Amino acid sequence: MKKNLLLMLLAAMVIIIVVGCGSGSKTVSRHSEFEWPNGELVDLLPVPESKVGQISTNTEDKFIVEIGQTKSKQFEAYVVRCRDNGFTLNSYNTNALYKADNDSGYHLEVLLNSSYDYMTITIKTPINSREFQWPRSEIARLIPTPKSNMGRIEWESSYGFVIYVGNTPKAEYDKYVDSCADSGFAVDYRKGDDFYYADNESGYQLSLRYEGNETMFIRIDEPKGQEDETSPEPFPSESSETPSSEVPSPVAPSPETPSPDVPEQVFSPKDVSDSTIESIQTYDDYLTMYQMIIEDYFANYEAAIKGTALYSAEAFSEMKKTYEDSFSQQRDMYSSMGSTSIIGKDTIIEFLKDYRDSLKEFTDILSNSLS
């Protein structure tokens, strides 16, 4: 009986937090009426009901579009149509995110931003559909060459690269993490079951993730401040939103927006205080701070419920996956901007503080109810 009451209380608090964060629908100024395009990737998708939005990426390997004037009802209806189009394999579904593959390996993600009434549709070609050549740059020699040469190079330059490597089971990913650590990337490291972030002694930064579906993400960057500031950004801006908090994401600069100078310092937050959040300068800093807030929440949440009737390792793991998926979406959208200085920094700082506070409020209420 006590367990049931606690579960009901937890559910009620979750509703309060989500409703509180999701209230106050707004519009997005960059959205306008547009014509749905044609193409190999686009033709796999159902045409959305709304004709308002913005296409941010339309390449041979990836298509990303924001569809405005979209609420939960329209999002759910669109997900059903995507399933009817064959996107049912390896599916993951929440009230704000749908991820699935079709039988040819094309990957779909549909993400709802209920605060601003739009959804982001992303479709990518199969990772294992083509071979790639490991970069020959000096920076590529700092880490081992993966066993598989199937995958996709998102971008590469003399100062870094992003590569998705296919045909890499989880066991191979784990071995690759160990080999990178043995190669010197073990400074200030953070490690989870499916991610590994570390620097080497020279300040080069490595990010590894296991994406599922036998796919490994690899990113390596020079120490901040060493990039050639005249080099063009590898991608135009792409926008997304977190499914778990349903609060507005920072606005990325458009490709036409000139970028201010890059600050020459490495951002390594030790806490989630106001002063730490206010010290962010670049989009890399934003992603690092965003992840730090999530990790702080995980620690506080587990401390609050561990040893009580509410604790379940399986449920806790599933909860973590939801938040990690939200971070993965943010990283996919903003990592291409890397060391670019943030446009609209005050708004982003306010967003991070509100996000931190909403998560802390939840864990505080939870702790008090269990004490």
pLDDT (tens digit per residue) in 142-152: 999 999 999 98
Domain that holds residue 171: 129-221
13 belongs to a structural domain: no
Going by pLDDT thresholds of 50, 70 and 90, the confidence category of residue 347 is: confident
366 belongs to a structural domain: yes
pLDDT of residue 86: 96
Residue 315 and residue 115: Cα distance in Å, rounded? Answer: 26
The residue with tokens 């690269």 is 161
Domain boundary among 193, 221, 249: 221
pLDDT of residue 344: 67
Strand order from edge to edge, sheet including 107-113: 32-33, 52-58, 62-68, 118-124, 107-113, 97-101, 89-93
Q: Are 141 and 107 part of one and the same domain? A: no
- The pTM is what? 0.48
Q: Are 114 and 173 part of one and the same domain? A: no
360 belongs to a structural domain: yes
pLDDT of residue 170: 94
* 21-35, 291-305, 353-367: segment of lowest average pLDDT: 21-35
Q: Which token pair is 201?
A: 């002694």
Q: Are 66 and 155 part of one and the same domain? A: no
Pick 346 or 38 by higher pLDDT: 38
Q: Are 192 and 153 part of one and the same domain? A: yes
244 belongs to a structural domain: no
Domain boundary among 125, 154, 171: 125
Instruction: Provide mean pLDDT across the span 110-118.
Output: 83
Selection from 94-98, 141-145, 190-194, 342-346 with the highest mean pLDDT: 141-145
Going by pLDDT thresholds of 50, 70 and 90, the confidence category of residue 243 is: very low
Q: Are 80 and 167 part of one and the same domain? A: no
10 belongs to a structural domain: no
List, as one string, the DSSP characters of 242-309.
-TTT--PPPPPPPTTSPPPPPP-S----SS--HHHHHT--BHHHHHHHHHHHHHHHHHHHHHHHTTST
46 belongs to a structural domain: yes
Q: 183-231: per-residue pLDDT in tens?
A: 999 999 999 888 899 999 999 999 999 887 788 999 999 987 554 443 3
Going by pLDDT thresholds of 50, 70 and 90, the confidence category of residue 172 is: very high
Domain boundary among 125, 149, 176: 125
pLDDT of residue 16: 39
**pLDDT of 1 strictly over 70:** no
52 and 42 Cβ atoms separated by less than 8 Å: no
3 belongs to a structural domain: no
**pLDDT of 18 strictly over 60:** no
Number of domains in the chain: 3
Pick 256 or 293 by higher pLDDT: 293
54 belongs to a structural domain: yes
**pLDDT of 138 strictly over 70:** yes
Q: Are 45 and 146 part of one and the same domain? A: no
CATH code of 60's domain: 3.30.310
pLDDT of residue 235: 33
Q: Which token pair is 190?
A: 């953070």
Q: Are 187 and 292 part of one and the same domain? A: no
Q: Are 264 and 367 part of one and the same domain? A: yes
112 and 129 Cβ atoms separated by less than 8 Å: no
Q: Are 189 and 263 part of one and the same domain? A: no
pLDDT of residue 165: 94
What is the three-class DSSP state of 51?
A: coil
pLDDT of residue 368: 73
**Beta-strand pair 215-221/97-101:** unpaired
Q: Are 282 and 367 part of one and the same domain? A: yes
Q: Are 104 and 204 part of one and the same domain? A: no
pLDDT of residue 171: 96
Q: Are 281 and 341 part of one and the same domain? A: yes
Going by pLDDT thresholds of 50, 70 and 90, the confidence category of residue 257 is: very low
276 and 256 Cβ atoms separated by less than 8 Å: no
**pLDDT of 68 strictly over 90:** yes
**pLDDT of 284 strictly over 80:** yes
pLDDT of residue 173: 96
Q: Average pLDDT of the chain? A: 79
